[in-house]
A and B are shown apart, each in its own frame.
Chain A
Amino acid sequence: MPSYILKRILSLIPVFFVMSVVIFLVVYLIPGGPAASLLGMEASQDQINALNTELGFNRPFLVQYGDWVMNVLRGDWGTSYLLKQPVLQAIGEHFAPTMSLAVCAEIFTLIFSIPFGILAAYKHGTTVDTVTVSVSMVGVAIPGFLLSMFLMLLFGVTLKWLPVAGYAAMSEGFGQHLRYLLLPAISLGVAQAAYITRMTRSSMMDVLYMGYIRTARAKGVRESAVVFKHMLKNAAPTILTAIGQSFGGLITGTIVTETLFNIPGLGMLIISSINQRDVFVIQGVVLFVTLVYVLVNLVVDLTYGLVDPRIQMGKK
């Protein structure tokens, strides 16, 4: 196991390298240099040149890249011109709401998707299965923003059970925090739940008629253990991948939902920084989000090794 972990971590080095080059190019390739976009349309060429020199953007590519990598590693991700604060600090402040939202949405997702996915596969061909598959089809197809607005209208405006939009930090009390997150979490979770239900169902279907399942029954193992011990662990890698992807997606791709519900998360930060051409923030958020994504995938890969011994032995 330790060598498997080490191998997986070492394999991240090339990933980080390629990622850092691409993200660095985001700023480097802006026509006229970052100064042009920082100063806006009205700036004269002299002003642009002066700022580019001040920021060091007229130095050779490799020098700039090396400099940037060293700064990133040291924790200096640049300064936001708009927010007048270090980029890393801005990301930190906006990450908490996004993370909370992602966790809530993922919990909602898992509560529904795993049980229904298992049930649909186990009872495939029956009404339970047909209903589950149809509902999840609708869940995948329905646009998130439409669902968000529908939920807002129903629970926020008509029934007045939950706040329509906004955000309360954890410091304002956990209940309050949750009240604000519930609707956005559901509207994000529905599509994820639909996707994971389908993945769970199909990966369970794959193992349903395996020889070892027949063996388990022939040994006298009870149906509950047949499903949860013998089937689920074999179906787990696919399900874990789907969960990893969905969680990565929730952390990185909640721009629309955050905007609709007015949640000050990473999505809001990146939208405002794109609008205002706050290039270092864009760069920082993209870097951060990529790191999180890579990390989530690493965790998924490591759990694979725990679930399926053939993977850590490199036999599959």
Chain B
Amino acid sequence: MKNVENQSQVLLEIKDLRVLFQGRKKLLPAVDGVNLSIRQGEIVGVVGESGSGKSVMSQTILRLREHESEVQYEGSILFDGQDILKLPLASMSKIRGNQISVIFQDPLTSLNPVYTVGNQMSEVLMLHKKMSKQEAREKSIELLNLTGIPSPERCIKQYPFELSGGMQQRVMIAMALACEPKLLIADEPTTALDVTIQEQILDLIVELNKKLGMSVLFITHDLSAMAQLCHSVRVMYLGQIVEEAATAELFACPSHPYTRGLLSCIPRLDTDREEELPVIPGVVPPLTDVPVGCHFCTRCTLADEKCREEEPPVTEVTPGHKVKCWKYGQTEKEKEAVQ
């Protein structure tokens, strides 16, 4: 699964992206210099805590944030050869839902409560595929069938509140897939769901990725979901990507202290029950208070003067495995020294 898509074409390329919100006194960088590319058919995972800027980054690809607050951009997002950030906002409606779709975290609040499932699904098809009402209805049933909804004929007549959480998320997925997008952004699609339903939804995304060859940008804070799904992973912290690698590589030899922290937080069945779970000390600092040097220095156990003063460069540890840390080499030695 890991290196299947290495040779295929780059679909989306984010270059030096900064997303700045207007704060009370200054501009706040929610995304601070992100580089990320997604190949065709690839599932790229972005992992990070709340406030790491992963959702803002994903919504910036569709420029959804502009409707809700003052946003400034730097850098570029190349999709199909054009810079999305340079397009007039009105023409985004041709890309949204058509070439790039998104599934959000909470399916109940993401579906409009006063329209039927059928109405909301047909809307996309009639808009982008210029289908008639009848054609859109038939296609909607077909799509609901694809996402494993039992009796889709009944489902399209129902309102979102009449469905269970899992069914609602399937509807969201069906809606996102309606126009066969080249890229699906899944923004924590399983966070609001039961564990069993989570599994089904993840399997569904993998299956559809294989069947339709669509790329997926998978945003999560669930590392096990990540391991199961993604070809490669980016670890995000306070608006920056601190480590990137193929999934197996990342789990085998995590280089950034933050990544290690995250991985050590996963409870395992084979550890002693009495043993306390390790945690990363502290919280993500607010955007008004971003550290000067390495963004992680306030919580890093290895941080020294240099980390606090100078921003670390991105270093390639092994081909395809990049890390943004002053200490990534030393950490290994120190660990050995301790042992």
| Residues of A participating in the B interface, judged by any CB pair closer than 8 Å | 209-212, 214-223, 230, 233-234, 307-310, 313, 315
Would you give the 0/1 interface string for B93-126, flagging 1 where the beta carbon is closer than 8 Å to chain A?
1111110011010100111111100000001100
B112 and A218: CB pair below 8 A?
Answer: no
B109 and A219: CB pair below 8 A?
Answer: no
Residue B161 lies at the interface, judged by CB distance under 8 Å to chain A: yes
Once bound together, how far apart are the Cα atoms of A309 and B94, in whole Å? 31
Once bound together, how far apart are the Cα atoms of A230 and B109, in whole Å? 13
Q: Which of B90, B104, B112 contacts A234 (CB 8 A)?
A: B112
Once bound together, how far apart are the Cα atoms of A209 and B69, in whole Å? 10
A307 and B175: CB pair below 8 A?
Answer: no
**Given A211-B104, A211-B106, A315-B161: A218 touches B96 (CB 8 Å cut-off):** yes
| Residues of B participating in the A interface, judged by any CB pair closer than 8 Å | 62, 64, 67-68, 90, 92-98, 101-102, 104, 106, 109-115, 123-124, 127-128, 159, 161-162, 172, 175
- The chain A residue with its CB closest to the CB of B107 is A211
Q: Which of B62, B68, B109 contacts A212 (CB 8 A)?
A: B109
For B90, what are the chain A residues with a Cβ–Cβ distance below 8 Å? 222-223
- The chain A residue with its CB closest to the CB of B105 is A211
B62 and A218: CB pair below 8 A?
Answer: yes
Once bound together, how far apart are the Cα atoms of A221 and B122, in whole Å? 12
Once bound together, how far apart are the Cα atoms of A228 and B93, in whole Å? 16
- The chain B residue with its CB closest to the CB of A234 is B114
Once bound together, how far apart are the Cα atoms of A230 and B115, in whole Å? 9
**Given A230-B112, A309-B114, A310-B161: A219 touches B106 (CB 8 Å cut-off):** no
B112 and A212: CB pair below 8 A?
Answer: yes
Once bound together, how far apart are the Cα atoms of A211 and B172, in whole Å? 12
B168–chain A nearest beta-carbon distance, Å: 11
Once bound together, how far apart are the Cα atoms of A221 and B162, in whole Å? 24
B69–chain A nearest beta-carbon distance, Å: 9
Once bound together, how far apart are the Cα atoms of A234 and B159, in whole Å? 14
A219 and B104: CB pair below 8 A?
Answer: no
- The chain B residue with its CB closest to the CB of A231 is B112
List 29 A-B residue pairs with CB atoms under 8 Å apart, sorted by A's residue number. A211-B106, A212-B111, A214-B64, A214-B68, A214-B110, A215-B110, A215-B112, A215-B172, A217-B67, A218-B64, A218-B96, A218-B101, A218-B102, A218-B104, A219-B97, A219-B127, A219-B175, A220-B96, A220-B127, A221-B123, A222-B93, A223-B90, A230-B112, A234-B113, A308-B113, A308-B114, A310-B113, A310-B159, A315-B161
Interface Cβ pair total, 8 Å cutoff: 76
Query: Which of B104, B109, B112, B159 has most chain A Cβ within 10 Å?
Result: B112
B127 and A221: CB pair below 8 A?
Answer: yes
For A218, what are the chain B residues with a Cβ–Cβ distance below 8 Å? 62, 64, 96-97, 101-102, 104
A48–chain B nearest beta-carbon distance, Å: 61
Once bound together, how far apart are the Cα atoms of A234 and B120, in whole Å? 14
Once bound together, how far apart are the Cα atoms of A214 and B62, in whole Å? 11
**Given A209-B68, A220-B93: A215 touches B111 (CB 8 Å cut-off):** yes
B93 and A216: CB pair below 8 A?
Answer: no
For A214, what are the chain B residues with a Cβ–Cβ distance below 8 Å? 64, 67-68, 104, 110
For B162, what are the chain A residues with a Cβ–Cβ distance below 8 Å? 313
B68–chain A nearest beta-carbon distance, Å: 6
A7–chain B nearest beta-carbon distance, Å: 19
**Given A218-B101, A218-B102, A309-B159: A211 touches B96 (CB 8 Å cut-off):** no
For B93, what are the chain A residues with a Cβ–Cβ distance below 8 Å? 220-222
A310–chain B nearest beta-carbon distance, Å: 6
Once bound together, how far apart are the Cα atoms of A243 and B172, in whole Å? 35
- The chain A residue with its CB closest to the CB of B121 is A219
User: Which 3 interchain pairs have the tightest Cβ spacing?
Assistant: A211-B109, A220-B97, A219-B97
Q: Which of A209, A212, A216, A217 contacts B113 (CB 8 A)?
A: A212
Once bound together, how far apart are the Cα atoms of A307 and B67, in whole Å? 26
Once bound together, how far apart are the Cα atoms of A85 and B177, in whole Å? 72
- The chain B residue with its CB closest to the CB of A311 is B114
For B112, what are the chain A residues with a Cβ–Cβ distance below 8 Å? 212, 215-216, 230, 234
A215 and B114: CB pair below 8 A?
Answer: no
For A222, what are the chain B residues with a Cβ–Cβ distance below 8 Å? 90, 93
Query: Which of B90, B95, B128, B161 has most chain A Cβ within 10 Å?
Result: B161
